[in-house]
Amino acid sequence: MKMEDEIRFVRNNIFRTDEMLAAENKILGEFSPEVSEEVLDYHKSLPGYSVTPLINLANLARRIGVDSIMVKDESKRFQLNAFKVLGSSFALAKYILGDSETIRYQDAVEKGCNISTLVSATDGNHGYSLAHVANLYQLSSKIFMPKGTVPERAERIRRLRADVEVTEYNYDQCVEIAKLFAESNGGLFVQDTALESDTEMEKRIPLSIMQGYTTILQEIINSCPDYSPSHIFLQCGVGSFAGALAAYISNNERLHSKIVCVEPNKADCFFLSAQKKDGFPSSVLGDMDSIMAGLCCGVPSVQAWPILRRSASWFVSCSDSVTRRGMRIFANPLPGDTRIVSGESGAVTMGLLYTILTDKKYENIKTELGLDINSRVLLISTEGDTDPFGFHANIWE
Ligand SMILES: Cc1ncc(COP(=O)(O)O)c(C=O)c1O
pLDDT one-digit tens code per residue, 264-276: 999 999 999 999 9
* Residue nearest ligand 1's atom 16 by CA: 294
Proportion of the chain above pLDDT 90, given as a percent: 96
Same domain (yes/no): 261, 124: no
Q: For ligand 1, is residue 238 a contact (CB within 6 Å)?
A: yes
For residue 238, how far is its CA from the centre of ligand 1 (angstroms)?
Answer: 7
pLDDT band at 99 (very low <50, low <70, confident <90, very high): confident
Name the CA radius of gyration of the chain, rounded.
20
Q: Is the pLDDT of residue 1 over 60?
A: no
Q: Is the CB of 232 under 6 A from ligand 1?
A: no
Mean pLDDT score of the chain: 96
User: Domain of 181: which CATH number?
Assistant: 3.40.50.1100
Of 179, 210, 241, the position where a domain reaches its end is: 210
Q: How far apart are CA 267 and CA 285, in angstroms?
A: 8
Q: Is residue 356 part of a domain?
A: yes
Residues 55 and 152 in one domain: no
Is residue 136 one of the residues assigned to a domain? yes
Same domain, 94 and 36: no
Per-residue pLDDT tens over the stretch 292-332? 999 999 999 999 999 999 999 999 999 999 999 999 999 99
Residue 192 lies in a domain: yes
Q: How far apart are CA 262 and CA 103, in angstroms?
A: 32
In a domain, 27, yes or no: yes
Of ligand 1's listed atoms, the one at least distance from the Cα of 244 is 10
Cα torsion 303, 309, 315, 317: sign: positive
CA gap 273, 275 in Å, rounded: 5
Of 43, 113, 122, 64, the closest CA to residue 351 belongs to 64
Residues facing residue 73 across a β-bridge: 381
Length of the chain: 397
Residues 132 and 185 in one domain: yes
Q: Does a structural domain hold residue 134?
A: yes
Say if ligand 1 is within 6 A of residue 290 CB: no
Same domain, 158 and 253: no
Beta bridge partners of 379: 71, 233
Note the pTM of the prediction, 2 decimals: 0.97
Same domain, 72 and 96: no
- Ligand 1 contact, 235 CB (< 6 A): yes
**Does an H or E element contain 94, and which?**
helix 85-97
Which atom of ligand 1 lies closest to the CA of 343? 1
In a domain? residue 383: yes
Buried b (16+ CB within 10 A) or exposed e, 149-179: bbeebbebbeebebebebbebbbbbbbeebb
Cross-strand pairs, 72: 54, 380
Same domain, 324 and 341: yes
In this structure, the answer to whether residues 36 and 49 fall within a common structural domain is yes
Q: Say whether both 238 and 183 belong to one domain.
A: no
Query: Which of the residues 84, 142, 258, 366 is marked catalytic?
Result: 84
Q: Are residues 102 and 185 in the same domain?
A: yes
- 84 given a catalytic annotation: yes
Q: Which of 192, 210, 228 is the last residue of a domain?
A: 210
Check residue 204 and give its pLDDT: 97
Give the span between the Cα atoms of 156 and 158, in whole angstroms: 5
Range of the domain at 307: 7-82+214-396
CA distance 255 to 272: 27
- Coil, strand, or helix at residue 275? helix
Nearest residue to 276 via CA among 26, 21, 16: 16
Q: Would you say residue 238 lies in a domain?
A: yes
Q: What is the pLDDT of residue 2?
A: 56
Q: Which tens digits make up the pLDDT trace of 134-153?
A: 999 999 999 999 999 999 99
> Mind giving me the DSSP string for 126-146?
HHHHHHHHHHHTT-EEEEEE-
Strands 163-166 and 140-145, by their bridges, are parallel
> Do residue 308 and residue 234 come from a single domain?
yes
Residue 1 belongs to a domain: no
Which pLDDT score, from 0 to 100, does residue 3 have? 63
Phi, psi of 150 (to 5 degrees): -65, 125
For the chain, helix, strand, coil in percent to 5 are 45, 15, 40
Instruction: Report how many domains make up the chain.
Output: 2
Of 239, 221, 228, 375, the C-alpha closest to 305 is 239
| C-alpha dihedral (381, 387, 388, 391), degrees to nearest 10 | -60
Tell me: pLDDT of 168 over 80. yes
223 and 311 together in one domain: yes
Non-local (6+) Cβ contacts of 194 within 8 A are 202, 203, 206, 207, 301, 302, 303, 304
Last residue of a domain, one of 152, 178, 210: 210
